[in-house]
Amino acid sequence: MDTVTQALLGATVGQAFFGRALGPRALAWGAVGGLLPDLDIAASAVDPMGEWLYHRGPTHALWFGPVVGPVLGLAAAATVERRRPSSSAPEADRRRSWIGLFVLALFTHPLLDVFTTYGTQLLAPFSNRRFAYDAIGIIDPAYSILLILALVIGLRAGPASRAARAAALGALVLSSAYVGYCRYLNLEAERVARENQPPALSASAELHAYPTLFQPWLRRIVAREDTQICVGWLSLWSSPSPQWSCFTGAGAKTLEAARTTREVRIFEWFAMGETAARVMAGAGGSQVVEIDDIRYGFPDTPGEGLWGVRVEIDPMGVVNGPVRRYERALPLPAGRLMAQLLHLAFG
């Protein structure tokens, strides 16, 4: 999820389990630990495809927290505690708390990310499989507000207080239940969409639902069979069935030349196969192939995602020039777009 929410989660973990031994430092350093896995985004500076290839890679693997957390915890205990002890707790208890704080802050980061759509490599570097449970958008105010309320209570009552611990534990339980509810909504959206899928598709068509921003009820549905692709919007709050838009994407044969490139192979792996391609005429008889990640998008442009790659193919069927990545401009001003999505969600 967004970096602010990950920091809030790390701080809440610190308040729930380590506030008594570490005091306010449990919140501050828990937030730092919650942010650390996202430093892998720096890989985009050395590779144009780095954001897609390396983000949510090894730093988001299940082993990262248990292996790296103790190292960071011991380092914090040896430096932060040396200047001024966090509490009157025995030194051994404070050392264990530092280790536990970093282990849990690092470990809970990918556990939350895996319930978004982006895809998280929980087994990296041993496997590059991307896991995504499509429960919650990368920005969800309800989830974040639960954590904020717990932290406010903790700061007012004191991070070492029983009230702070109870508030943080309650927020972790409620926020986890909320994610479970969002996962249920996605499965329900797929069931409803399957029962009301477009007549152009057969019952064996592939179909997936994806969360959208700021609320859990509006889902983007992508159904596909061969080159036929249908994108629908379904609100489990107000709509009995999806609103579908269908189009024909480029076939596999058309994409053969583009798929010889490293960049296109990486992009299709990153998008977990949920792509749509179009072919346009280029200069001198060449063709320009655009491939979009259609897990994300907006209602008025069903065949377009938020980002993609562009490849030029010469008349001989050979890739001409470098593969370019792009991010699409918003189809409407941000305010109107938000109003459109809220109208689809709540009617």
Q: Same domain for 244 and 131?
A: no
Q: Same domain for 216 and 174?
A: no
For 336, the enclosing helix (H) or strand (E) is: helix 334-346
Q: Same domain for 155 and 258?
A: no
Q: Same domain for 164 and 64?
A: yes
Q: Same domain for 54 and 112?
A: yes
Can you name the residues that pair with 224 across neighbouring β-strands? 206, 229
Q: Structural domain tally of the chain?
A: 2
- The answer to whether residue 188 is domain-embedded is no
Structure tokens at 217: 């009820």
- The answer to whether residue 258 is domain-embedded is yes
Name which of 47, 51, 66, 168 is nearest 110 in CA terms: 66
Instruction: Classify residue 345 by its DSSP letter.
Output: H
Return d(Cα 293, Cα 288) in angstroms, integer: 17
Q: Same domain for 122 and 162?
A: yes
End residue of a domain, out of 122, 151, 182: 182
End residue of a domain, out of 182, 215, 250: 182
Q: Same domain for 248 and 175?
A: no
Specify whether the CB–CB gap between 208 and 188 falls below 8 A. no
pLDDT tens-digit profile, the chain (347 residues) = 999 999 999 999 999 999 999 999 999 999 999 999 999 988 777 888 888 999 999 999 999 999 999 999 999 999 998 888 888 888 889 999 999 999 999 999 999 999 999 999 999 999 999 999 999 999 999 999 999 999 999 999 999 999 999 999 999 999 999 999 999 999 999 999 999 999 989 999 999 999 999 999 999 999 999 999 999 999 999 988 999 999 999 888 888 999 999 999 999 999 999 999 999 988 888 999 999 999 999 999 999 999 999 999 998 888 998 999 999 999 999 999 999 999 999 98
Can you name the residues that pair with 207 across neighbouring β-strands? 223
What pLDDT sits at residue 68? 98
What pLDDT sits at residue 15? 97
Return d(Cα 288, Cα 283) in angstroms, integer: 9
- The answer to whether residue 93 is domain-embedded is yes
Q: Same domain for 109 and 174?
A: yes
- The answer to whether residue 187 is domain-embedded is no
Return d(Cα 53, Cα 4) in angstroms, integer: 23
Q: Same domain for 212 and 327?
A: yes
Domain region containing 236 = 205-346
What pLDDT sits at residue 134? 97
Q: Same domain for 149 and 225?
A: no
- The answer to whether residue 193 is domain-embedded is no
- The answer to whether residue 192 is domain-embedded is no
Instruction: Classify residue 120 by its DSSP letter.
Output: B
- The answer to whether residue 33 is domain-embedded is yes
What pLDDT sits at residue 24? 95
- The answer to whether residue 266 is domain-embedded is yes
Specify whether the CB–CB gap between 68 and 75 falls below 8 A. no
Q: Same domain for 209 and 167?
A: no
Q: Same domain for 248 and 314?
A: yes
